[in-house]
C-alpha cells in the first residue's frame, strides 16, 4: 500500500511517502490510523488527534470505516486551508 | 480547463484565449488572487503552498464541471499555483466567459469561494518567529465533516 | 480611474497595474465586455458607440467614486471605448482590487450593471436592412424618469 | 448658447452642434424644446415626442423646468442605451 503524508503530518512523521505491507487485520481507514499511531514517536505525535486528520483513498475523501486494499494509494493530511 | 502549476501565468493572454473565436461570448469575468503583503497592519512574509498532485487536479476539474452545469458558460478556466510565493505574486486565476454577464459573475465567484476554502492546499507561512502552518478555516471543517466519521 | 477612448486596451497590463506595489490587495476582479457576434442564433454586425465627451467622463467618475465609497477598494478602473466596433472586439473593462474578494466582486458587478444600462452611450447597429439605433432598455428609462418631468 | 444633439436626434436634425442666440422668453428647458420644434421639419421630427428626449445642461441631467442661460451648454439626446 502506498501512503502519502502532507503538511504538518508529513513534517511530524519526517517522510512524504512510503510503501508498506498492510498487516493482517487492518481492513479500514480507522484501523490503519490505529496501526500507524503505534509505529513510532513521530507517528504518535502526528496522529494523536485523529479528528484533524483527513484521509483520501485513490484521490477520494473517505470516512473512517472505508475499506482499504493492498494496492490503494492512501493519503493522510490536515484539513485543507484553501488556495 | 484547469491547470495546477508552479509557474506564473499571463492573465491577459488567458482571458483573450477564452473569448477568441467565440461569437456567443458577451462578458468575461476574471479573478486574480495575489499574496498579500500585510494583514491588519502586520507585514506578511512569503508562503509555500503544498498540494496533493493528482487529487488537486481531480477536485478542481469536478468543481469546474459543476460550475459549467449550474451556469450557461461558454468556457471556464482555473489556474492554481503551488510552491513558494512572495507577497505580491499571483496565486490563482479564475476566468468565466458567458453570453450573460450575471452568469459569468456568479460562476466566477462560486469557483473562487470554493478554491479559497476547500481547494486541497496547505499553506506554510514564513513569520518572524519561524514557519507556521496555516489553520484550516471553519468553513472547510464544516464542509469536510460530512466525509469524516469522528 | 476612468478612461473613455477609441483605442483598444491591454487587459493584462491594466490588471497588473492595479495590484503592483499595493500590499493590501488580495484579489482583483475584472470584467471584459466584448461585442457579441450572434444573439438568439442571429448574426450581429458591427456597431458604433456614440457618446457625449465630457459628460461621459463625469458620470463614469461619479459612479466609480460611489463604488469606492460603498466597498473597501484599494483601487478601481473603468475603461470604455466608443466608435465603431466589430464582433469580438472589447468594449469595456472594469477592474476592482480589494483586500477582500467579496468586495471586489460586488463592486465590479455594480459598476458593470451601471455601465450596461445607464452609461451615456448610444448604439448604432449595422443590420442586413441598414443601420438601426438600439432602443434604451426599460431599466434605463426607469432610472432616468426621476430626472425628467414629462 | 451651445446646443449639442446626439444619436437619432442628431441624425434627424442633420447637425451635431450649433451656437444659437436665445430668443426672449425662452428661460427653461421646456421652453427651449418648444422653440426648437418650430425651427424646421428636421427639428419637428426630432422633437415630436418630447418624452423620449433627455436634456443635460452643463453635463448634468435636468428636468423640463430647469432654467437656462445664454452661456449654458445644452445637450439633447434619446435615452442612453448603456455600454
The H-or-E segment that residue B46 falls in is none
Tens digit of each residue's pLDDT (9 = 90 or more) over B42-65: 777 899 999 999 999 999 999 999
Residue D8 contacts C where some CB pair is shorter than 8 Å? yes
Q: pLDDT at position A16, please?
A: 97
pLDDT value for C129: 84
What phi, psi does B125 have (nearest 5°)?
A: -90, 140
Going by C-alpha positions, the residue among B83, B63, B82, B81 that lies closest to residue B73 is B63
Answer whether C98's CB lies under 8 Å from C72's CB: yes
Residue C138 confidence (pLDDT): 60
Cell numbers representing residue C67 in the block: 463604488
- pLDDT on residue B141: 47
CB contact under 8 A, C16 and B11: yes
Task: From C104, C76, C88, C63, select the one nearest C8 (Cα to Cα).
Answer: C88
Q: What is the pLDDT of residues A20-66, one digit of tens each?
A: 998 899 999 999 999 999 999 999 999 999 899 999 999 999 999 99
pLDDT of residue C145: 45
C116: chain B residues, CB-CB within 8 Å: 101
pLDDT score for B128: 84
- From CA D7, how far away is CA C29, in angstroms rounded? 33
| Residue B95 pLDDT level (bands cut at 50, 70, 90) | very high
Question: C–D: how many Cβ contacts below 8 A?
Answer: 80
In order along its 83 residues, chain D shows pLDDT tens digits of: 999 999 999 999 999 999 999 889 999 999 999 999 999 999 999 999 989 999 999 999 999 999 999 999 999 999 999 88
Q: With contacts defined as CB-CB under 8 Å, which chain B residues touch A7?
A: 50, 122, 124, 133
Integer Cα distance of C98 and C30 in angstroms: 12
Q: Is the pLDDT of residue B142 over 50?
A: no
**Residue A23 in contact with partner chain B when CB distance is under 8 A:** no
Q: What are B110-136's pLDDT values in tens digits?
A: 999 999 999 999 999 998 888 999 988
Q: How many residues would you count in chain B?
A: 150
> What span, in angstroms and rounded, lies between the C-alpha atoms of C14 and B12?
9
CB of C40 within 8 Å of a chain B CB? The answer is no
User: What secondary structure, in 3-state letters, does C34-68 show?
Assistant: ECCCEECCEECCCEEEEECCCHHHHHHHHHHHHHH
pLDDT score of B147 more than 60? no
Span B95-124, mean pLDDT?
Answer: 95
> Does B138 score more than 70 pLDDT?
no
Tell me the ipTM for this assembly: 0.90
Are the C-beta atoms of D73 and D55 separated by less than 8 Å?
A: no
CA torsion sign for D1, D5, D9, D15 is positive
pLDDT at A79 over 90: yes
Beta-carbon separation of D78 and C149 below 8 A: no
Q: What is the pLDDT of residue C149?
A: 34
Which residue ranges in chain C fall short of pLDDT 50? 139-150
Given phi > 0 = left and psi -120 to 50 = alpha, else beta, which region is C21?
A: left
Amino acid at each position: 500500500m502506498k501512503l502519502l503524508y502532507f503538511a504538518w503530518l508529513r513534517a511530524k512523521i519526517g517522510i512524504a511517502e512510503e510503501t508498506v505491507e498492510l498487516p493482517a487485520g487492518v481492513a479500514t481507514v480507522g484501523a490503519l490510523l490505529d496501526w500507524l499511531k503505534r509505529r513510532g514517536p513521530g507517528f504518535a505525535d502526528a496522529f494523536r488527534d485523529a479528528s484533524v486528520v483527513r484521509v483520501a483513498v485513490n484521490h477520494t475523501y473517505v470516512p473512517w470505516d472505508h475499506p482499504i486494499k493492498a494496492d490503494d494509494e492512501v493519503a493522510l493530511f490536515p484539513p485543507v486551508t484553501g488556495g | 480547463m484547469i491547470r495546477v502549476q508552479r509557474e506564473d501565468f499571463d492573465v491577459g493572454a488567458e482571458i483573450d484565449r477564452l473569448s477568441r473565436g467565440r461569437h456567443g461570448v458577451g462578458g468575461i469575468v476574471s479573478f486574480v488572487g495575489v499574496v498579500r503583503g500585510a494583514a491588519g497592519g502586520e507585514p506578511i512574509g512569503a508562503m509555500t503552498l503544498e498540494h496533493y498532485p493528482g487529487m488537486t487536479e481531480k477536485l478542481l476539474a469536478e468543481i469546474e464541471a459543476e460550475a459549467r452545469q449550474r451556469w450557461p458558460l461558454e468556457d471556464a478556466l482555473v489556474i492554481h499555483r503551488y510552491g513558494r510565493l512572495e507577497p505580491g505574486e499571483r496565486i490563482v486565476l479564475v476566468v468565466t466567459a458567458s453570453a450573460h454577464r450575471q452568469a459569468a459573475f456568479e460562476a466566477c465567484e462560486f469557483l473562487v469561494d470554493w478554491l479559497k476554502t476547500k481547494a486541497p492546499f496547505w499553506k506554510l507561512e514564513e513569520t518572524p518567529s519561524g514557519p507556521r502552518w496555516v489553520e484550516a478555516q471553519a468553513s472547510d471543517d464544516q464542509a469536510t465533516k460530512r466525509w469524516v466519521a469522528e
